[in-house]
Amino acid sequence: MRFKGMDLNLLVAFEALMETRNTARAGEKIGLSQPATSAALSRLRAYFRDELLVVKGRRMFPTPLAETLLPRVRACLRSAESVISTSSQFDPARAERLFRIVASDYVSAALLSPLLRSLETSAPGVMLDLMPPESHSADLLRRGVVDLMITPSEYGSSGLPTEPLYEDNFVVAGCLNHPLFASQFTMEDIFTYGHIAVSLGETGSTTVGDRQLNLLGHARKVDIIAHSFTVVPWMLVGTQRLAIMHERLAHIAASHFSITYRPLPQAIEPLRQIIQYHETRASDPGLRWLIDLIRAEVKSPI
């Protein structure tokens, strides 16, 4: 399709070229051969009267014009996707669609995994791609590469539509026969034992729960640092170690592992989760169906 002399398919090629800086990899990304992708780059250069990507050695470098065009092209493509995906109704029983969601393994295990069981029969053609949070996740959302991001409110990205999703309390968890749980205990009692802490992402940032404890002046003796929430129950079984866990995850883990959990003697601020999406998807009935489904799961008792 042409619009004011421009083959709109070239914009898809332009985005892929800018992301990969390589004609072969860009072609793989959009389903074209390397010669066809090179031809698309030539046509883009002719249309914009600019080299766009300059070859130096083994790499391609964008020109100033290409850098200026990229956010506009992305916005154009995301708007086009929104038009294509928008219809007067969304029938999950008939839909063939992939939703990409950025969510921690805690959210995937405690909130989304129960949801998947119902999708198997109610929406057999719907697929979910559950992606772990990374430093560039917000950029992927802004570019429309992912559909939803579920994240603690502290990590939300400005400029994106945001809705509160749910709150989750923090609990102390340990092995089923841990002596701590034999009677009433204090915060000081909790910190006489070694702990399993969770460190997340490429930078190894502390979790929301750990920061809340630090603000209250509580320092733990950390024996083990895990890089996933869902491995913590495995590490508690058969030990005297403790962990501060999200209540939803602890509840599910206690049904599969020989662990138990109790509320903290001293209340700390709960984890507040939000859901974010691209502004062009706000009226997408398929996305709204998915958000409503997640909200219904949130309301299920734990």
- Is residue 87 pLDDT above 60, yes or no? no
Closest CA to 193 of 239, 233, 156: 239
| Comparison of pLDDT for 205 and 256, the residue scoring more | 256
Average pLDDT over every residue of 141-170: 91
Length of the chain: 302
- Residue 281: other Cβ atoms inside 10 A: 21
Q: What domains can be seen in the chain, in order of their start residue?
A: 2-85 (1.10.10.10), 97-167+272-298 (3.40.190.10), 170-269 (3.40.190.10)
Average pLDDT over every residue of 6-14: 85
Average pLDDT over every residue of 115-139: 89
pLDDT at 301: 75
Q: What does the pLDDT look like over 177-210, one tens digit per residue?
A: 999 999 999 999 998 999 998 887 665 556 777 7
| Comparison of pLDDT for 145 and 86, the residue scoring more | 145
The share of the chain scoring above pLDDT 90, in percent, equals: 56
* Least confident segment among 99-108, 126-135, 136-145, 211-220: 211-220
N- to C-terminal Cα distance for the chain? Answer: 52
Average pLDDT over every residue of 287-293: 93
Contacts made by residues 151-157, CB under 8 angstroms, sequence distance 24+ = 151/102, 151/103, 151/104, 151/273, 151/274, 151/276, 152/208, 152/271, 152/272, 152/273, 152/274, 153/272, 153/273, 153/274, 154/208, 156/274, 156/276, 157/276
Say which DSSP state 186 is in: -
Tell me the backbone φ, ψ of residue 234, rounded to 5 degrees. -60, -35
pLDDT at 279: 81
Average pLDDT over every residue of 139-151: 89
Place 169 in a pLDDT band, splitting at 50, 70 and 90. very high
- Mean pLDDT, the chain, as a whole number? 87
Average pLDDT over every residue of 150-172: 92
pLDDT at 97: 87
- Is residue 86 pLDDT above 60, yes or no? no
Distance in angstroms (rounded) separating the CA atoms of residues 44 and 11: 8
| Comparison of pLDDT for 279 and 16, the residue scoring more | 16
- Is residue 245 pLDDT above 80, yes or no? yes
Average pLDDT over every residue of 253-257: 95
Place 219 in a pLDDT band, splitting at 50, 70 and 90. confident
pLDDT at 180: 96
Look-up of token digits 């996707």: 81
pLDDT at 85: 60
Distance in angstroms (rounded) separating the CA atoms of residues 272 and 292: 18
Place 152 in a pLDDT band, splitting at 50, 70 and 90. very high
Place 90 in a pLDDT band, splitting at 50, 70 and 90. confident
- Is residue 214 pLDDT above 90, yes or no? no
Average pLDDT over every residue of 41-48: 92
Average pLDDT over every residue of 87-111: 87
